[in-house]
Amino acid sequence: MEPDAQLVQQCLRGEGPAWEELVRRHTRRVYNLCYRFTGNATDAQDLSQEVFLRIYRTLPSYRPAFGAFPTWLTSVTRNLLVDHYRRTRHDRVTDSIDDAMPVLEEKHSKARTPDRLAEAAELSVQLQRALARLSPELREAVILRDLQGLEYNEIQGVLAVPEGTVKSRINRGRIELARILEEMGVRPS
Amino acid sequence: MSWNCKISEERLSEYLDGMLSPSDAATFAAHAGGCADCSRLVARVGGLVGQLHKLEQLEEPPQLIQNILDATIGPRIQEEGWKKWFSWAPLLWQPRFVMGVVTVAATLAIVIHSSGITPAKIKRADFNPVSLYRSANRQVHLTYARSVKFVNDLRVVYEIQSRLQPEPSPASQPLPEPQPQQPSGTPQQKSEKDPPRDRSHMRSGSMFAVLLPANSPGSLIATLTRSAQ
């Protein structure tokens, strides 16, 4: 049995430490997905908390046969992100994300030199800005594929759309993102 | 199907992700090799994908996990076992508390030293309740006697005493004539015969009697008692 499935079983038996372990294993993944999608650290934190709250409540309904736990977790996260996007659509006059860019990008490997660190942080910020200009459908496809490292069939499970749509969204998302970056003057290395 | 730029663009990601069949991949590569636009697109998007894959995950804020756990399973006791009982220990190192302890210790040291207790000479038997009572009683009496002696030894006190009660010299004051036949003596006459110090001695109580011998010339209390009569 996979560690996640085992932890879920332990959680269902009411073992608190198992839930804590499950949260520790997956918080970063969920937080990154939320952060890359919203571009806002505060929203990402709130949404991450909401995701785990929902997971905690619906854990008894989870069956390993439906798919791996991380896929289910990503699916719940994605649904909440879409809800959040729809909820806040009216609040957004523009899709400007510049103000919301935090200085959270400095957390990289300590072995890097300051120059490389600054370069990587700068790239991360620019990519985040470019991502914010993508439509939510293309944005989530690119994030799941290229930042979360999901396979096509996993993304298909998360988004609940046909395989062709997944391929198309990933492809269009990448091309669009490259075009935006080029507009911004960022050259691919 | 003839391969063209539109197809290349549509299947670009599949090519980059290695999902094309070998024959399609070869056709794609052949087309891109001969088409400047497609070759540029492949380089651009390929470079972007490489960058995205290299991008490291951000660290979540440190309090996030704790907040999630609080929101789901509720706030938990942070420290368990013996650590919980010593959670107040860091407070001891606050300067305010340390200063207080030092002050109290210095005060105790002064009090102990002035009361004549020598910590090095304390024996186990001294902690016997009887011994404690005796030594405390002795210490109280000694301290009282010392303080009385100190007061009486003051020059100003001695001066007052000597003014109030000039010491009669036995030579200047002749002894009264013995009057053997005086059966009906008044009580006043009787009292005159009694030495005044004896009366003061009796009125002052037994404690003063012990501490202040009746024949002490410098007894302030005795003098004051006498002068009040």
> Residue B206 above 60 pLDDT?
no
Q: Which helix or strand (DSSP H or E) is residue A30 part of?
A: helix A16-38
The arithmetic mean of pLDDT across residues A42-69, rounded, is 89
Cα–Cα distance, B72 to A55 (Å, whole number):
9
Domains of chain A with CATH codes: 3-183 (1.10.1740.10)
Q: CB-based contact (8 Å) between A182 and chain B?
A: yes
pLDDT band at residue A48 under the 50/70/90 scheme: very high
Mutate one of B6, B38, B48 to test the A interface: name it (highest A CB count within 10 A): B48
The CA-atom distances, in angstroms, between B12 and each of A25, A187, B30, B39 are: 34, 19, 13, 11
The arithmetic mean of pLDDT across residues A83-98, rounded, is 68
Cα–Cα distance, A162 to A167 (Å, whole number):
9
Average pLDDT score, chain A: 84
**DSSP, res A187:** P
Neighbours of A189 (CB within 10 A): 10
Cross-chain Cβ contact B72/A175 below 8 Å = no
Cross-chain Cβ contact A171/B14 below 8 Å = yes
Amino acid at the residue B185: G
Pull the structure tokens for residue A96. 């400007």
CA A13 to chain CA centroid, Å, is 29
The complex's ipTM works out to 0.79
- Among A158, A124, A126, A127, residue whose Cα is nearest residue A141: A158
Domain limits of chain B?
Answer: 5-54, 123-166+192-229
Average pLDDT score, chain B: 75
Q: CB-based contact (8 Å) between A53 and chain B?
A: yes
Q: What are phi and psi of A102, to 5 degrees?
A: -90, 180
- Among B55, B54, B63, residue whose Cα is nearest residue A105: B55
Q: In angstroms, what separates the C-alpha of B20 from chain A's closest C-alpha?
A: 12
pLDDT band at residue B71 under the 50/70/90 scheme: confident
pLDDT in tens, A119-167: 777 788 888 899 999 999 999 999 999 999 999 999 998 999 999 999 9
pLDDT in tens, B8-66: 999 999 999 999 999 999 999 999 888 999 999 999 999 999 989 988 888 899 899 98
Looking at chain B, the whole-number percentage of residues with pLDDT higher than 70 is: 65
Chain B nearest-CA residue for A49: B68
Query: CB of A62 within 8 A of CB of A72?
Result: yes
Tell me how many residue pairs between chain A and chain B have CB atoms under 8 A apart: 112
> Residue A102 above 50 pLDDT?
no
> Residue B154 above 60 pLDDT?
yes
Cross-chain Cβ contact B56/A109 below 8 Å = yes
Amino acid at the residue B156: V
Cα–Cα distance, B66 to B59 (Å, whole number):
14
